[in-house]
Amino acid sequence: MIRRKLLNWLSPKNLHHSVVLGVLVTLVGSGCMLGPDYLPPPVTVEDSWIYQNSKSLDSLESINPYWWQSAFADPVLDDLVAQAIENNLELRSAALRALQAQQLLSIAIGNQFPQTQQIEGLVDRSKYVRSGITGNLQSEYYLNFNLTWELDMWGQLRRLVNSGAADFESSLAEYDGLLVSIIAQVAQTYINIRTIKRRLEVARENIRIQREGLRIAEVKFNAGEVSALDAEQAQTLLSNTEATVPGLETTLQQLKNTLSILLGMPPHSLTDILSVSPTVPDVPSIIAIGMPQDLLRQRPDIRQAERLLAAQGELIGVARAELYPNFSIGGLIGAIDIRGGQLNGRSDAWDLFVDFEWNVFNYGRLRNNVRLQDATFQQLVSDYQQVVLQAQVDVENAIVAYLKSQEQQYFYNIAAMASEEAVNLSITQYIDGQIQYNTVLTTMVSNLAQQDILVVAQGAVAANLVQVYLSLGGGWQIVDGLTPLELLPEETIEDMLRRTHYWDKLLD
């Protein structure tokens, strides 16, 4: 390291020193920025979706940011989503990470300005005694102020600001991505709860039918028309069906517990909220999905990956700047006042200097660091391209699952209606003695399975629709433009203000 004081004094008589200082200060704002300058890398995006010609899809219309409202029109779901946005603890943590990134950016911006400020002062009163002779009382007052400013000759500090800005934008995209995920999880969990409730209703309805079948078999046995075998078979089927109810109730409570975590509240608080009818939500006949090119600005994970890439791109210039001299200017202004001594009186002191540091003996390490930052950048290019590719696959998978689940539901609905009619016919024929009870059992087992499959298929259609919106990245726009502090609930801000008042300016 070479450190050399180039200029340590300045006076009106030495005008050329003032000129030198003016030139150096000018260089602060006009210094070059070592590259490379960041440009987003090219990515491959398809022109259309594979199934975009489906009558259920509208690729010309962009998705509604409040898609859950337009898709399901369910006030209970709307309220659950609002509570999750307000109280979800993971979302709150992401907002605080964005707030931290914002403060790091502010620190990077501040580093462009005078960085070292110090005020030193001294007040001293003394009296000396020597060989029995007492000296005069002496008072000394001393005050110094110094300042150092690093000149951004090669753009290192500006690159760090750009990198900090990209990191901050990346943290906001991370919040947006989590918000989209939380909204989708709330919607899917709510759909699953209503689906399980409907499955319970189907199970209990089949239990009622099977109890009636058992009663008929017992009546016929008591009348001597059939053996005890029919009643025993009927009881076996009924007990097995009754055993499915506790399992479904367990799943229902577990889903409620999962929802409570998403809402940031204890499980017992959901009792009144989820007193909903046991029906599976319907889906609209046509849904808007936009075009594949919309993903680049719509998916938060794509924006996050691109911003991380941009932040890393700036660090290459930072690493290159370390290969060149680092200049700084500084100065000191002070005053000394001595009373009562031989140096009685007041004097002023000042100093102006320009320093530079040059790591000339570390070029191997510094060059390796440039290579390291560039290799990291190239890795993030691949990561970014992978995210874009995966996003398109996610949407295609969600679309095909949604469309094909609708087709399945159509056929399952026909099968369920047929199985229900088969049960009614078999019971009537059994009463008339036209068939054996084995046939009745077969139709009842089939009916329970078909009715349950139909409900599961209905729930899958609604859940797959949520997955479509999740893969498209919709929903984050509802908080677009809000600052990290505005994303936090009032009680969190109040906690922070109680610890320190320095948040006041950001809240103004």
Residue 196 domain flag? yes
What is the Cα–Cα distance from 218 to 431, expressed in whole angstroms?
12
Beta strand 129-130 with 133-134 is antiparallel
Identify the pLDDT of residue 19. 42
What is the predicted pLDDT for the residue at 91?
Answer: 97
Q: 156-222 vs 437-472: helix axis angle to the nearest 10?
A: 170
Record the pTM.
0.87
Residue 20 lies in a domain: no
User: What confidence tier does 135 reach under pLDDT thresholds 50, 70, 90?
Assistant: low
| The amino acid at 312 | Q
The mean pLDDT of 51-74, rounded to a whole number, is 94
User: What Rg do the C-alpha atoms of the chain give, in angstroms?
Assistant: 38
Residue 390 has pLDDT above 70, yes or no: yes
Question: Is residue 12 a part of any domain in this protein?
Answer: no
Distance CA 315, CA 27 (A): 22
Region 405-416 average pLDDT: 97
Q: Considering the domain boundaries, does residue 172 fall inside one?
A: yes
On whether residue 186 sits in a domain, the answer given is: yes
Mean pLDDT, the chain, whole residue set: 88
So what's the pLDDT on residue 340?
62
Is the residue at 95 inside a domain? yes
Q: What CATH number is given to the structural domain containing 499?
A: 1.20.1600.10
What pLDDT, on a 0 to 100 scale, did the predictor assign at position 348? Answer: 74
Q: For residue 153, what are its two tokens?
A: 């000759």
Query: Contact, 219 vs 482, CB < 8 A?
Result: no
Count of domains for the chain: 1
Q: What is the pLDDT of residues 471-506, one digit of tens each?
A: 999 999 999 999 999 999 999 999 999 998 888 877
What is the reported pLDDT for 128?
60
Question: Does 314 map to a domain?
Answer: yes
What is the reported pLDDT for 376?
A: 98
Percent of the chain scored above 90 by pLDDT? Answer: 72
**pLDDT score of 139:** 73
pLDDT per position as a tens digit, 261-307: 999 998 887 776 677 778 999 999 999 999 999 999 999 999 999 99
Nearest in space to 185 (alpha carbons), one of 101, 110, 123, 264: 264
pLDDT at 130: 57
Domain residues for 299? 31-112+152-322+359-507
Instruction: Look at residue 143 in the predicted model and tell me its pLDDT.
Output: 75
**pLDDT score, position 20:** 44
Question: Which residues does residue 351 pair with via DSSP β-bridges, in sequence order?
Answer: 332
Residue 345 belongs to a domain: no
- What are the pLDDT digits (tens) for 215-274? 999 999 999 999 999 999 999 999 999 999 999 999 999 999 999 999 999 888 777 667
Assess contact for 436 and 419: CB atoms under 8 A.
Answer: no
Residue type, 356: F
